[in-house]
A and B are shown apart, each in its own frame.
Chain A
Amino acid sequence: MSAGLYTNLAWLPRPPGDFRQRCRGLVDSGPSPGEAIMHLAGYALDESQLRQLAARIEMLRAEGRSLAPLAPLRLGLLGNATLEPLVPALIATAARHGVDLECTKADYAQTLQEALSPDSLTNRAKPDAVLLALDHRGLPLRAAIHDPQAASSGVADSIAFLESLRRGFRTHAGALSILQTLPALPESTFGSLDRSVPGTLRSLAATFNAALVESVKDTQDLLFDVAALAQTVGLANWHSPSQWNIGKFAFDAQFLPLYADHVGRILGALRGKSRKCLVLDLDNTVWGGVIGDDGLEGIVIGQGDATGEAYLDVQRAALDLRDRGIVLAVSSKNADDIARSAFRQHPEMLLRENHIAVFQANWNDKATNITAIATELSLGVESMVFLDDNPAERALVRKMLPQVAVPELPEDPALYARTLAAAGYFETIAFSEEDRKRADFYQDNARRVILQTQAGDIDSYLASLEMKIVFRPFDATGRSRIAQLINKSNQFNLTTRRYSEADVAVFEADPKLFTLQVRLIDSFGDNGMISVVICRPGTKSAWEIDTWLMSCRVLGRRVEQMVLREILTHARARGIEKLVGRYLPTEKNVLVRDHYAKLGFRLLDTAPNGATTWELKTSAEIAPAPMSVDRDGFDLVAV
């Protein structure tokens, strides 16, 4: 089931329907098409789409256009299988990893001549690196089950052969070599005994791989662990006898985008393009539930619960990254002290405040927060990875900060940690003592940055969400969800009045009340019921807003504004002249302290306990937000 995660590059967003047209458009795109190329390369592209993008990159290069900020790198490509399909796949994929790749492909199986002759095609191209795409068919490995001596000399000969290639490219081109480990074959000779009989291919591959690791260690050359990649997706999938026979494909063509992505990571790491900082959302990303609503005791994290363990895996993955020098930060829509309470007090949390370099829990949009985190850490936003379960937040950050890597996440939190790892954002080519300590440089903190400005154009993002808001009065269909929201919502809840399902049924039937249940649908799907309002008749043709609550999931979408417009519409139609709103403070609803002020209400009264009363004339005009309105089930025709 989860091999598809890898085969389909499932951490990348799916390409748009007009991908081909967008590739063609690259040629006309402004003076620096590099950003646009990188953006297009950031989708999960299939073999044909990689080829389409590579063709445009080659055209731009032929025109002498600069592809900055992509970093140029020349790669020589050699191997004993068909290399032709690798070239465009590598060129397009390298752009995903910040590299402007030029590729020289040697003729089929000409590796030794290419390495040793100073004026070979490869050496003349003066590559920065060469990829030696050799498998068991291209090395002097002899499967000799009757002759253990021949088996071990075959491994030694193979390593010596590779060493002479490496030396050749180093001497004649100054290039470093990238060497592939050998994936074993699914076919065995004896079965389990293969491991212990020296001349079997399985045993040869294991011995060769161990020797190769030793021979590459402490040199400038790099290892590309194809064996691990093939095992991850399954050896029976990786090796295709038909495709080898038909076209000498070293591995099944469906894995070309994945193989290229792994090469791209290494090339990106060579050019210093690996990511350096992981920014974490909190609610439903590092624990289950919404801490602002569910409370410290209500979040799901920890051993003994399948969901709680899934989130522990996310925390463990983050800590493992921190141990190897990746900086951790938090960007969460939450009240700062409530969000921190989990890190300080929850016994099951693995992540603690001192693991987090910058801690941004506030109600700003996440692009603004990520920019602030990057500035605080003196890192570029192109160093950041942002992990968030909410597709709308992911889309916002992708749109406003296209340089930030934002993995798609599956529905099941048990796969979050695996998906993050599969994306390979933090590929590295060396690991030093300094790396081990890097994250500690930020130890003293969990700092918070005060934000001045928003990162960019929220309006056009909101418009791109194609939101539709649906208003209905309370009804039997919505009853249980309405009661649930009334009893669960703590943060965006003006009065925190709790009513039972039976109460809600009474409200439905009461003609003196005005009730509203609100749904929001956007390009990611139906968010379900996200807001509830109850108005009661007050003194002198006024409505008292008894209850106004909203799900924090849709904060920042201007839903409040549209709900107020709707209340005003109905109020006016019924001859109501003003609205009276109250804010009753609790420990959890400081978020909406200024709710009425922001919407243009006038302050009437402040009680000693901090409760405030507000008023708005129904003649007030509230600007519409970018969403369409559906209205259903009201008996008013006038509106």
Chain B
Amino acid sequence: MSLDAIYQKLTQILQNVFDDDSLVARPDLTADQVDGWDSFAHLRLIFAVEKAFGVNFAASQIASLQNVGDLATLINSKVA
């Protein structure tokens, strides 16, 4: 799966999780920029990503994510 395809899928997931059609997955997008992206929403997002991509993350990997770019890189390392 190309990184482009990962971002496209992430955009859909973000829009669905945060119920916001204007969200676009960009590498520098962080939680502070999105309404409602609190710690629970973060887990919901992670679980939705795990399900959509068929991958699993360890707690340490989840904790180390700084932005959507990190998330995309992590997904890429699992699905490649």
Contact = CB atoms under 8 A, between A and B. Distances in A.
Interface stretch (B3-11, B56-64, B66-74): B56-64
Contact of A85 (B16, B40, B57): B40
Given A47-B44, A85-B40, 9 more contacts: A20-B19, A46-B16, A47-B48, A48-B44, A51-B19, A52-B19, A242-B57, A247-B40, A249-B43
Interface of B: 15-17, 19, 21, 40, 43-44, 47-48, 51, 56-59, 62
B58 to A, nearest CB: 7
Nearest to A84: B40
A196 to B, nearest CB: 34
Interchain residue pairs A-B with the least CB separation, the first 10: A253-B47, A48-B16, A247-B43, A52-B19, A48-B17, A246-B59, A254-B51, A84-B40, A245-B59, A20-B19
Nearest to A245: B59
A48 B16 CA distance: 6
A551 interface: no
A226 interface: no
A246 B19 contact: no
Contacts of A362: none
Contacts of B57: 242
B40 A48 contact: no
Contacts of B59: 242, 245-246
B46 to A, nearest CB: 8
B58 A48 contact: no
A49 interface: yes
A48 B17 CA distance: 5
Nearest to A241: B59
A52 B51 CA distance: 18
A243 interface: yes
Contacts of A48: 16-17, 19, 44, 48
Nearest to B48: A48
Contacts of A84: 40
A254 B19 CA distance: 19
A51 B48 CA distance: 13
A106 interface: no
Interface in A226-247: 242-243, 245-247
Contact of B16 (A20, A82, A242, A253): A20
B21 to A, nearest CB: 7
Contacts of B16: 20, 46, 48-49, 52
Interface in A37-63: 46-49, 51-52, 55
Contact of A246 (B15, B21, B43, B48): B43
B56 A242 contact: yes
A241 B34 CA distance: 29
A282 B59 CA distance: 52
A91 to B, nearest CB: 15
Contacts of A47: 44, 47-48
Nearest to A243: B47
Interface in A78-114: 82, 84-85
A47 B17 CA distance: 8
